[in-house]
Structure formats: structure tokens, C-alpha cells
Amino acid sequence: MRLTEEEERMLKGGDGYVTMKCMEYLVEYGEKAGAERLVNIDGIVDIRPGFTGVELFFSEININDPQLYGKHFKVPTYTNKPGPSFCIDGWEDLFPPLNDPEFHHKMMEGLKPYWRLGAVPTLTCDYYLVSSYNPTVGQHCSCTESSLIPWINAICGARTNYDGSFASAWTGKIPAFDMHLDENRLATRHIICEAELRNDMDYDLFGWAVGEAMELEVPVITGIGKPTTSQIVKMNSTLNTGGQVRMYHVPGLTPEASTVEAALGGKKAVDTVVIKRGDLRKVYDKLQYAGGENVDFVYLGCPHYTMNEVQKAVYLLEGKKCKANLWIMTNPWTFKMAEMMGYRDIIRRAGGVLASGSCPGMLGGEGFMPPNTKVMATDSAKQNYYITGLNYPSKLQAWYGTTEECIEAAVTGKWKGQWK
């Protein structure tokens, strides 16, 4: 890699030990990735405390080292949910060890060194919906989260790979390859959506179908209507579950290309893929891993529910009583607002739990679900995929459907969802 004078100095230890270790990591990573240089980033959205933080990559750096006192990350930095995982809010309503005050206190203490360095504790997979940093067109940043990568690249028109880490937050630099370079952001294939996308579930399924068809290619997509924020978030999460789509263009919606021709850089598409209603049905069928009617546990909030989604669930739940366990997971900031508005009380009165900062998938699967869960229902294709994978081959059963069907299952303890 070609380094600037400043970067050479940082690499040789001229800016201190921690900077030197971070630069060693970034240069090695960049060389392995084929990057020719580093690029300055405008922000980092997100590091995962204790996860892709110092412990994993830099055993030589102690996050509690007094040398770090009074020092701060170089760029605005926000945190994803922590790992090892635990719930930030609502934990009192869960089960051991999650509801143990000592356990919770110890886990929260582990996050504080990151706060001292300036990482804002958004502590969620949808950090970008609640933080005050949304990169603008052409800005470079560094992130780690499936739904976030296409949000940054496609929706914001900013530039990121999947590589948020302590090193990039500390130095404000990242290797310039893949999505940081103009030529890799052009579309090569055209997706035409011929299915009318009518609700959140349709966008969830559509993202999966596109992910499966595209793998790592950049598509230009037409025919998806005018998705809401929640629908974009859902679609982005399944683009990176069914496949690995980190960038796409939707002329009229995403900022980098206003026409199909511009998205393709004036070239012809390698091919055109038409997604029809039958393709969504195929994904839907794939996500049904259950047989019987009984449901023990309903999980809502993957990616973590937005305020509008919490509100929708609360309206559906108000005045009812659940027969099955119900968790509604959100980010800590939305949790506080929902609590203030009395939504947590409504959910609790119905026998459900409002919590923040984690999910059954992140917590580790079966051992971290309400005891004796055999059949779960969820409105998220991503959670469904992770949870059945995590529990394989113990055969946890999982139903997938709309939010309305999931709330009905929580209230009746029965699954009545069906393809419409």
C-alpha cells in the first residue's frame, strides 16, 4: 500500500503505541484486501463493543489502559449491540441470567471504556435510525451490520465496506477498496420487480429473493414502488441474509444514479432478472419451519423495531392478553420513548416484554428463549433464518408471517398465518 507521510509516522509509532497497533492492523487488512491506499473516513457507524472491538483484534491493547484516559476516537463513532449479548433495557422482565441485576451491572460496566473514548451507546443493529450521524453522498465511513451496509451505500450514497472496528474509529482511516471506489459501485445487473409490494412482509421477502439472485453483484432495481423507512430497513436486512448485496440503485429513490442507464455506467446489463409474486411465495415457503398449530413464543423486532413498528404492535395488542410469550425488541433510544408514552405498560399488561439491545439470535438461540420454547413465530425473515440455523439440528420450529399474524399468535397461542 502507498501510505502518506502522516500514515507512515503513525505506523512507525510516532503517534503512540495504540495508533501504531491500529495502523499495523489496517495496513495488513488493506494489503490482504488488495487496497492500494487508506482513505480518511468522516464517521464510523458502528463498532461492536467487545465484539469487533479491541479484544478480538488487538490483544496487545487493553481497553482499560490508563494511557487511554482523556483520549477520544478520531471520528463520530456509534455502537452496535454488544457482544457477548445481553439486553440493555427491559431485562428485569426476562429470565436468568438476563434478569440478574449483578449480571446486568457487570455487562454494562464492560461498555463504559468505549463511552469514555466517545463511542455513543446506540447499542442496536438499527443505530442509523436514532443517531445524529447519517453520512452524505460521497462520504466515507466504516460499519458492521447487514441492514446498515446497503443503507449507507445505496440510501445515503455514502461509502462503506463491512469493516467497522476500533482501529478505524481510533485512526479515522480505512483501506480504500470495493465500495470506496467509484468503479465498484456501478450496477452490472437489472432487477425488475413485477410483484406489487404491498406490505412490510413483501419487502422482507423481496430483499431475500434479490439477495439470492445477486450474491455479491450490484443491481439496479426498478418497480418497487415507494417503500417506507421500515420497509427499506427490512429489505436491506434480507438483501444481506438471502445474499450479500451491499449496494444497489433504485432510480428515483437512491441518490447516485437517476436512471437505469446511469446506474449501469452506460454499459449493458449482464442480465435482467424479473421477480414475480411467485418468487416471493417461494421465499415465504422456505421460511416456514413449523408444522403444528401451537405457538409458545413470538419474537418481533429484527432489525430492532422502529418507533412506528412498536406503535403498530401496541395498537394491535391493546386490551388483549397473551397466551404465548411475546418479546418486542427495539433500540435503547426508542425503548425510552416507548416507556415514556406508556407503551411498555400496555405491552406488560398484555403479558408481553418490551426490551432493547439484543435478540434471541444474538443471545445464542434456544438457551436464551423463554424456557420450554418449541415453536416460535416471527415477522422477520432474518431472525427466522438465524434462529433456525442456530438451533440446527435440534429442530426449534419457527413460523414466519406478518406482524398482525404474529400478534394474533401471541394472543391465541395458535398460528393462523397463511400466504395471501
Instruction: Choose which of 304, 307, 353, 417 interacts with ligand F3S (CB under 6 A).
Output: 304
Beta strands 189-193 and 219-222 are parallel
CA distances from 244 to 163, 210, 218, 247 (A): 14, 10, 10, 9
Which helix (H) or strand (E) is 281 found in, with range? helix 277-286
Instruction: Choose which of 11, 125, 280, 283 interacts with ligand F3S (CB under 6 A).
Output: 125
* The C-alpha cell that represents 385 in the structure block: 433464518
Instruction: Choose which of 207, 242, 303, 365 interacts with ligand F3S (CB under 6 A).
Output: 303
x/- binding map, residues 223-252, to ligand F3S, per CB under 6 A?
Answer: --------------x---------------
- Distance in angstroms (rounded) separating the CA atoms of residues 373 and 397: 9
Neighbours of 415 (CB within 10 A): 24
User: What 3-state DSSP class applies to 121?
Assistant: coil
- Report the half-sphere exposure of 49 (CA within 13 A, side-chain side): 30
Using rule CB under 6 A, residue 81 touches ligand F3S: yes
Asked if residue 258 lies in contact with residue 396, where contact means CB atoms within 8 angstroms, the answer is no
Instruction: Choose which of 361, 365, 401, 417 interacts with ligand F3S (CB under 6 A).
Output: 361
By C-beta, is 175 or 357 nearer to ligand F3S? 357
Closest separation in Å from C-beta 98 to ligand F3S? 15
- Distance in angstroms (rounded) separating the CA atoms of residues 218 and 178: 11
Phi, psi values for residue 306, rounded to 5°:
-80, 170
Could you tell me which of 178, 248, 179, 183 has the C-alpha nearest to residue 210?
A: 248
CA 137 from centre of chain: 21
By C-beta, is 247 or 359 nearer to ligand F3S? 359
Instruction: Choose which of 236, 325, 383, 391 interacts with ligand F3S (CB under 6 A).
Output: 383
Closest separation in Å from C-beta 382 to ligand F3S? 5
Closest separation in Å from C-beta 357 to ligand F3S? 8
Asked if residue 408 lies in contact with residue 377, where contact means CB atoms within 8 angstroms, the answer is no
Closest separation in Å from C-beta 233 to ligand F3S? 9
Region of 71-79, 182-190, 357-365, 401-409 interacting with ligand F3S (CB under 6 A) = 357-365
By C-beta, is 178 or 379 nearer to ligand F3S? 379
Region of 154-162, 175-183, 258-266, 379-387 interacting with ligand F3S (CB under 6 A) = 379-387
Beta strands 375-378 and 397-400 are parallel
Could you tell me which of 173, 177, 138, 184 has the C-alpha nearest to residue 161?
A: 177
Region of 213-221, 224-232, 298-306, 391-399 interacting with ligand F3S (CB under 6 A) = 298-306
Left if phi > 0, otherwise alpha if psi is -120 to 50, otherwise beta: which for 33? alpha
* Number of residues located near ligand F3S, criterion CB under 6 A: 12
Region of 90-98, 193-201, 286-294, 382-390 interacting with ligand F3S (CB under 6 A) = 382-390
Beta strands 272-275 and 375-378 are unpaired
Region of 4-12, 172-180, 263-271, 356-364 interacting with ligand F3S (CB under 6 A) = 356-364
Secondary structure letter of residue 71 according to DSSP: -
Beta bridge partners of 45: 78
By C-beta, is 80 or 171 nearer to ligand F3S? 80
Using rule CB under 6 A, residue 74 touches ligand F3S: no
Closest separation in Å from C-beta 50 to ligand F3S? 14
Closest separation in Å from C-beta 377 to ligand F3S? 15
Closest separation in Å from C-beta 115 to ligand F3S? 20
Using rule CB under 6 A, residue 382 touches ligand F3S: yes
By C-beta, is 26 or 149 nearer to ligand F3S? 149
In the numeric block, the cell 411475546 is attached to: 326
Amino acid symbol at 33: A
Cα Rg of the chain, angstroms? 22
Closest separation in Å from C-beta 385 to ligand F3S? 9
User: What 3-state DSSP class applies to 196?
Assistant: coil
Please return the burial class of 62, using the count of CB atoms within 10 Å of its CB with bins 0-12, 13-18 and 19+: middle
By C-beta, is 52 or 383 nearer to ligand F3S? 383
Using rule CB under 6 A, residue 362 touches ligand F3S: yes
Residues that bind ligand F3S (CB under 6 A): 81, 125, 237, 302-304, 359, 361-362, 382-383, 386
